[in-house]
Chain A
Amino acid sequence: MSAALSTRGLDKSFGSLTVARDIALELPQGARYALIGPNGAGKTTLINLITGMLRPDAGEIRLADEPITTLGPSDRVRRGLVRTFQINTLFPNLNALEAVTLAVCEREGVAARWWQRVTAHSSAIDEAHAILSTLMLGQDCYRPTRELPYGRQRLLEIALALATKPKVLLLDEPAAGVPRDESKELFEVVSNLSRDISVLFIEHDMNFVFRFASRIIVMVGGSILVEGTPDEIAADARVREVYLGKSGHGARHG
């Protein structure tokens, strides 16, 4: 079976600054891969390249077997390649129900229908509410997004992505900034994600990485340094040196 997502020879520079160099990765169907690396390693840049928010200078991106390198971001989303954002990128004055209903209507191709009531699309509303309930946002779905606690907003990030029915989901630091007492729900949501969805996530929280990732890709300075199982990565001397620090405190996870 072909990979859900693959890239070959991706390059990107801003002037003399190279932010991606010869990136090749392969995300199998249903996989849970982590992308880690120190700040400035080019992880978010890679997500931007894969989702089409940046155009690569060279290289190719394939979704399943289809080349998508020249497609715009929304075309990639409609083919099932969807991301969440490291910094909440939500609709502050919409509530969660409206936001997720919007996403479902866009997916269903009914969002241009200015002559129909939203309430005429009851299956879209039901689906939005079902997604919110699974993500434990059912109680909060009538409150404006800006009033939601930070951890709930992180969940809404994922809810919006799920409403597009992704085949490949890129999570950009889903746990970033979530306080310990709110992270339990987030962990639960990520572990309950359907196995039909292939997931690549960036995360600095090593608990999160070692709990969910079947394989880990380590990036440094715009290139992939090494890829391997969590055990291999935890034992890798180079990784310790550049990423986990020479003290080797990352080894406790292995």
Chain B
Amino acid sequence: MSVTAVSSPHAYLRAQARWHPIEIAFWLATLTPYYLFPDYLVLASQIAITALFALSLDLILGYAGIVSLGHAAFFGLGAYTAGLAAKHGWGEPISGLVLGAIVAGIVGYAASFIISRFRHLALIMITLGMGLLLEQAANSASWLTGGADGLQGVKMWPIFNTFRFDLYGYTAYTYSLIVLFLVFLVARRIINSPFGLSLRGIRENAIRMPALGAPSRAHIRAIYTIAAVMAGVAGALLAQTTETVSLEALGFQRSADVLVILILGGTGRLYGGLIGAIIFMVARDQFSGNTPQFWYFWIGALLVAVVMFLPNGILGGLARLTASWRRRA
């Protein structure tokens, strides 16, 4: 064990939060699509958006242990808010993003009072129910949302009045990547904060926390709201970069997909959602030339295999592999 050699608790905790060279390599690698796959920048921007969405789920599921099958509700709220703003004459992207985040955050905060009272199966049912409710509401309110036809006529202004959204996705990817990175920095700070420690405490032992005087429910309300804000940002990004919003933005399928993505990549590891999003989206792009059902056949198989053999996801498996190499060395 290399950690036992650490001299002081301060040095140990600082080392836990330090940027690992692999992290820096990962973020440098996000720049490669510009040079290696310039034809896939549209896909790359969708991956970045999905990664951001998965990151927001990781904060509640991976860190606080809050299971959700309705997380797309906040994604959709962000998407419709930004889309509607642009459709009705305010196409400025950054403020649209902030607006989407605020609306998702307000609804997330309201929902958090219910969420923080439940755990496990009850939570899955409640989040599922709330997601379905919102999906139906959006479907019925077709005068506002366009219903099943989707929201049409979203016109975005250039970012900073300079960078026009182009057909090749150059601006879209740059914009999505920068937003993803900024939100990632916030998420990274959260998990290395005293609050992050308390979230892990709630995940690890919900009974002990009140016995330490911890206001667990207030912590859960806070992280649920933060995660809703981040999901709203991701949704707003999708609306702005694709200039349309469909019901699918807040549908059950999206909630289920993001859960699959996070579990494939590995929960509670910050990068799990990012890696999961890359694998899931690239695989879908490659395989979905066939029927969509065929594609889900393979995702199903992959999911079963990962949960059986890599209970901590792909990143968890990699971590175990490198640990055993190090022991051997």
Contacts and interface: CB of A to CB of B under 8 A. Distances in A.
Interface of A: 51, 72-75, 77-78, 82-83, 85, 89-94, 97-99, 101-103, 105-107, 110-119, 121-122, 124-126, 128-129, 139, 141-143, 160, 163-164
Given A139-B4, A160-B208, 11 more contacts: A74-B212, A98-B200, A110-B194, A111-B197, A112-B222, A114-B223, A115-B193, A121-B194, A125-B9, A141-B9, A143-B1
25 contacts: A51-B211, A74-B213, A77-B210, A91-B205, A94-B200, A97-B9, A97-B12, A101-B13, A102-B200, A102-B212, A102-B214, A106-B212, A111-B197, A112-B218, A113-B195, A115-B189, A117-B192, A118-B13, A118-B192, A118-B193, A125-B9, A125-B10, A128-B9, A142-B6, A160-B208
B191 to A, nearest CB: 9
Given A103-B212, A111-B214, A125 B13 contact: yes
A154 to B, nearest CB: 14
B40 to A, nearest CB: 35
Contacts of B1: 142-143
A92 B204 contact: yes
Contact of B215 (A74, A99, A119): A74
Contacts of B10: 119, 122, 125
Contacts of A142: 1, 3-4, 6, 12
B188 to A, nearest CB: 10
Given A129-B9, A142-B3, A143-B1, A98 B197 contact: yes
A77 B189 contact: no
A82 B141 CA distance: 53
B213 A114 contact: no
A44 to B, nearest CB: 13
B284 interface: no
A106 B213 contact: yes
Contacts of A82: 211, 213
Interface string B185-207: 00001101111111011001101
A106 B204 contact: no
Q: Is the interface of B mostly helix, strand, loop or mixed?
A: helix
Contacts of B193: 113-118
Contact of B201 (A78, A91, A114, A124): A91
B198 A111 contact: yes
B190 A117 contact: no
A77 B201 contact: no
**Size range of the chain B interface in the assembly:** 35 or more
A78 B4 CA distance: 33
B315 interface: no
B286 to A, nearest CB: 35
B17 A94 contact: no
A126 B13 CA distance: 12
Given A102-B194, A125-B9, A141-B9, A114 B226 contact: yes
Interface in B204-242: 204-205, 207-216, 218-219, 222-223, 226
Contacts of B120: none
A111 B211 contact: no
B14 interface: yes
B214 to A, nearest CB: 5
A102 B212 CA distance: 9
Nearest to A105: B194
B87 to A, nearest CB: 34
A112 B205 contact: no
B222 A99 contact: no
A170 B215 CA distance: 20
A68 B192 CA distance: 35
Contact of B213 (A91, A118, A143, A164): A164
A97 B13 contact: yes
Given A117-B189, A118-B193, A143-B1, A77 B213 contact: yes
A119 B13 contact: yes
A92 B3 CA distance: 17
A110 to B, nearest CB: 5
Nearest to B198: A111
Interface in B1-50: 1, 3-4, 6, 9-10, 12-14, 17
